[in-house]
Amino acid sequence: MASTNPEVEALIPQFKLEKLLNQDQAGRRIILLGTIQDKHSILLAERAAFSIEKVQLESFSTSLKNVKNLGANDIYSWFLASTSSEPDSSQPPDLKINLIWPCTEKHIKKYSQQGIRLVTETPEIYKNNVRPYIEKQRGEGRLDWIFNIIEGRTEQEDVFYREHGEEGFLVLPDLNWDRKTMTSLHLLGLVERRDIWSVRDLQKKHITWLQHMREKLLEATVKLYPELEKDQLKLYIHYQPTYYHFHIHIVHVALEAGATQATGKALGLENIIGQLETIGGADEAAGMAEVSLTYTVGEASELWTEIFQPLRKGA
């Protein structure tokens, strides 16, 4: 005979923990081994989806407790917070919050739900359409927050490795990481030079620099986090990136691959180096501007509305 709801609900408080079996989904799910009434049991706990009822959304920001700022740079700020109803609760923060203020229309388009398209950017489309678009995106102070870091005005307490010079770079946590869940580790390697805007600017002459940077990124990360080994880290580059100043993402291999690591968005650093080694023979100026790249774009993005949609209609 099936158990009643009250009987089943009474089992949860009886769970006695033996050990943590796993933590995944960037720390949002835990799998515990324990016993109930002296019998082994597995408890899977996953954070419930947010309510999208208007009354809940209107009170969301004021319902947060123990809000702690982790950092701020230009229009970007990031925090930890708790949904506990007790203001002095010892429960650790269960929310990672990013704030963009004031935001632009471009931000609104980026974060709005929209259709996705797969496009192929040929060398000709890059030269004639996308490169001018990138030049425009680099203007109007949109990279000020990056230059603030590089020039030492903000976030210097977070920089844990740096090399200065024409080929210099630095490493710091990505604002989307909670800085404690190791399997969701996400770091950024920012280059100091300003002549490389995206993967398209990489050439054969940059291979040695990229190899050096890759090794130093790995070494610095495992030195700061000794519980990690180099083969537990994955390095990739976005195309198209969120901002057009060359940077490398360093993540734990166990970090679940969402849209930001998917085919059509992320290019493995090792694969890029390998491709550069085979491009153009002995021509050191040969590079990624000479190949076709296929990637995804949102239907609200300017890349779609101003470039690829008109090109498709004119085909």
CATH number for the domain harbouring residue 190: 3.30.428.10
The pLDDT of residue 134 is: 96
The pLDDT of residue 209 is: 97
164 is catalytic: no
Q: 121 and 83: one domain?
A: no
The pLDDT of residue 88 is: 61
Paired sense of beta strands 161-163 and 169-173, if any:
antiparallel
CA–centroid distance for 121 within its chain:
23
Q: 81 and 171: one domain?
A: no
Domain limit, last residue, from 41, 67, 99: 99
> Is 109 inside a domain boundary?
no
Q: 73 and 139: one domain?
A: no
The pLDDT of residue 260 is: 82
> Is 299 inside a domain boundary?
yes
Cα 187 to Cα 235: distance, rounded to the nearest angstrom: 10
The pLDDT of residue 86 is: 66
> Is 16 inside a domain boundary?
yes
pLDDT tens digits, 87-132: 566 677 888 888 999 888 888 888 898 999 999 999 999 999 999 9
Return the DSSP state at 114: -
Catalytic position from the list 186, 238, 245, 247: 247
Cα 258 to Cα 24: distance, rounded to the nearest angstrom: 13
pTM metric for this prediction: 0.85
Q: 309 and 217: one domain?
A: yes
Q: 129 and 223: one domain?
A: yes
CATH (domain of 25): 3.30.200.40
> Is 105 inside a domain boundary?
no
> Is 107 inside a domain boundary?
no
Low-confidence ranges of the chain (pLDDT < 50): 1-2
Calculate the CA dihedral of residues 213, 238, 93, 252 and round it to 10 degrees: -50
Cα 71 to Cα 69: distance, rounded to the nearest angstrom: 6
Q: 95 and 121: one domain?
A: no
> 132: which residues sit within 8 A by CB, 6+ positions away?
none
Domain limit, last residue, from 99, 132, 150: 99
Q: 135 and 95: one domain?
A: no
Q: 25 and 172: one domain?
A: no
State the DSSP H helix or E strand holding residue 6, giving kind and residue range, or none if neither: helix 5-9
The total of structural domains in the chain comes to 2
Residue 73 domain boundaries: 6-99
The pLDDT of residue 43 is: 84
Cis peptide before 6 (omega within 30 of 0): no
Q: 212 and 289: one domain?
A: yes
The pLDDT of residue 2 is: 44
Q: 161 and 284: one domain?
A: yes
The pLDDT of residue 44 is: 83
Beta carbons of 249 and 238 less than 8 angstroms apart: yes
Domain limit, last residue, from 38, 73, 99: 99
> Is 104 inside a domain boundary?
no
> Is 106 inside a domain boundary?
no
Mean pLDDT over all residues of the chain? Answer: 90
Q: Give residue 72's identity as a one-letter amino acid code.
A: A
CA–centroid distance for 161 within its chain:
19
Q: 157 and 283: one domain?
A: yes
| SS3 at position 210 | helix
The pLDDT of residue 93 is: 83
> Is 140 inside a domain boundary?
yes
- Number of Cβ within 10 Å of residue 251's Cβ equals 22
- Residue 314, both tokens: 């004119």
Q: 298 and 224: one domain?
A: yes
Sheet hosting strand 76-82, strand order edge to edge = 65-73, 76-82, 95-100
